Structure 1
Amino acid sequence: MSICVANISKSYKNVKALQDISFNVKVGELFGIIGPDGAGKTTLFRILTTLLFADNGRATVSGWDVVSDYKNIRKSVGYMPGRFSLYQDLTVEENLQFFATIFGTTIEENYDLIKDIYVQIEPFKDRRAGKLSGGMKQKLALCCALIHKPKVLFLDEPTTGVDPVSRKEFWEMLKRLQQKNITILVSTPYMDEAALCDRIALIQDGKILEIDTPEAIVKHYPKPIYNVSANNMYKLINSLNAYQYIHSVYPFGEFVHYTDKRAEFNAVELKLYLESKNLSNIRIEKTVATIEDTFMELAK
Structure 2
Amino acid sequence: MMKMHGLGDGPYWTISYAYFLSISSIYTLCFVIFGSLIGAWVVVMEIFPGFSLYRGLYEFGQYSFTGNYMGIDGMRWKDLNDSTNGMKEVLIIMFVEWLVVLFVAYYIDQVVALGSGVRRHPLFFLQCFRKKPSSSFRRPSLKRQGSKVFVKMEKADVSQEREKVEQLLLEPSTSHSIICDNLKKVYPGRDGNPEKFAVRRLSPALPRGECFGMLGPNGAGKTSFINIEKAPLTLQDFNLLWETLTGREHLQFYGRLKNLKGAALTQAVEESLKSVNLFHGGVGDKQAGKYSGGMKRRLSVAISLIGDPKVVYMDEPSTGLDPASRNNLWNVVKRAKQDRAIILTTHSMEEAEVLCDRLGIFVDGSLQCIGNPKEEEVDNLVRRLSTNANRVYRISGTQKFELPKQEVRIADVFQAVENAKSKFTVHAWGLADTTLEDVFIKVVRGAQSFNVLS
TM-score by length of 2: 0.43
- Report whether the alignment pairs 1:295 with 2:451: no
* Partner of residue 213 from structure 2, selected from 18, 27, 32: 32
Amino acid at match of 2:369: E
* Partner of residue 146 from structure 1, selected from 300, 305, 319: 305
Q: How does 1:275-290 map to 2 (within 5 A)?
A: 287-290=432-435
- Report whether the alignment pairs 1:117 with 2:276: yes
- Report whether the alignment pairs 1:46 with 2:227: yes
Q: Secondary structure at the match of 2:249?
A: helix
Amino acid at match of 2:234: G
1:3 alignment partner in structure 2: 178
Give the deviation of 1:102 after TM superposition.
Answer: 2.0
Amino acid at match of 2:267: E
Give a deviation string over 1:115-138, Cα, whole Å, max 9, x none.
221436763333322332211111
Give a deviation string over 1:242-286, Cα, whole Å, max 9, x none.
xxxxxxxxxxxxxxxxxxxxx9x9xxxxxxxxxxxxxxxxxxxx7
- The answer as to whether partners of 2:209 and 2:337 remain within 8 angstroms in 1 is yes
1:194 alignment partner in structure 2: 352
* Partner of residue 22 from structure 1, selected from 184, 203, 213: 203
Structure number having the greater strand percentage:
1
Q: Partners of 1:120 and 1:164 in 2: how far apart?
A: 22
Query: Which structure 1 residue ranges, 5 or more long, are not aligned?
Result: 51-72, 222-262, 266-285
- Report whether the alignment pairs 1:78 with 2:223: no
Q: Secondary structure at the match of 1:153?
A: strand
* Partner of residue 183 from structure 1, selected from 341, 350, 370: 341
- Report whether the alignment pairs 1:203 with 2:362: yes
Give the deviation of 1:110 after TM superposition.
Answer: 5.9
Q: Partners of 2:297 and 2:395 in 1: how far apart?
A: 31
2:259 alignment partner in structure 1: 104
1:168 alignment partner in structure 2: 327
Structure 1 residues 200 and 107: alpha-carbon distance in aligned structure 2, compared to 1, 3 A threshold: farther
Q: Partners of 2:227 and 2:220 in 1: how far apart?
A: 14
Give the deviation of 1:193 after TM superposition.
Answer: 1.5
4+ residue runs over 4 A deviation: none
Q: Partners of 1:122 and 1:37 in 2: how far apart?
A: 40
Amino acid at match of 2:185: K
- Report whether the alignment pairs 1:155 with 2:314: yes
Amino acid at match of 2:352: A
Q: Secondary structure at the match of 1:16?
A: strand
Structure 1 residues 186 and 164: alpha-carbon distance in aligned structure 2, compared to 1, 3 A threshold: same
- The answer as to whether partners of 2:304 and 2:312 remain within 8 angstroms in 1 is yes
Structure 1 residues 216 and 97: alpha-carbon distance in aligned structure 2, compared to 1, 3 A threshold: closer
- The answer as to whether partners of 2:278 and 2:284 remain within 8 angstroms in 1 is no
Structure 1 residues 288 and 6: alpha-carbon distance in aligned structure 2, compared to 1, 3 A threshold: farther
- The answer as to whether partners of 1:89 and 1:130 remain within 8 angstroms in 2 is yes
Q: Partners of 1:22 and 1:159 in 2: how far apart?
A: 27
Give the deviation of 1:188 after TM superposition.
Answer: 0.8
Give the deviation of 1:6 after TM superposition.
Answer: 2.0
Q: Secondary structure at the match of 1:159?
A: coil
| Matched-pair identity in % | 34
* Partner of residue 217 from structure 1, selected from 396, 400, 406: 396
- Please, what is the CA RMSD of the aligned residues? 2.7
Amino acid at match of 2:220: A
Structure number having the greater helix percentage:
2
Q: Partners of 2:276 and 2:299 in 1: how far apart?
A: 8
Query: Which structure 2 residue ranges, 5 or more long, are not aligned?
Result: 1-175, 190-194, 373-392, 401-427, 446-454
Give the deviation of 1:209 after TM superposition.
Answer: 1.3
Structure 1 residues 109 and 120: alpha-carbon distance in aligned structure 2, compared to 1, 3 A threshold: closer
- The answer as to whether partners of 2:247 and 2:286 remain within 8 angstroms in 1 is yes
- The answer as to whether partners of 1:118 and 1:140 remain within 8 angstroms in 2 is no
Give the deviation of 1:220 after TM superposition.
Answer: 6.2
Give a deviation string over 1:87-136, Cα, whole Å, max 9, x none.
23212221111112222221314633552214367633333223322111
Amino acid at match of 1:93: R
Give a deviation string over 1:25-56, Cα, whole Å, max 9, x none.
11111111112332222221221122xxxxxx
Amino acid at match of 2:285: D
Q: Secondary structure at the match of 1:2?
A: strand
Q: Partners of 1:87 and 1:7 in 2: how far apart?
A: 38
- The answer as to whether partners of 1:218 and 1:294 remain within 8 angstroms in 2 is no
Q: Partners of 2:352 and 2:252 in 1: how far apart?
A: 33
Structure 1 residues 85 and 9: alpha-carbon distance in aligned structure 2, compared to 1, 3 A threshold: same
Q: Partners of 1:134 and 1:19 in 2: how far apart?
A: 36
Structure 1 residues 153 and 114: alpha-carbon distance in aligned structure 2, compared to 1, 3 A threshold: farther
TM-score by length of 1: 0.62
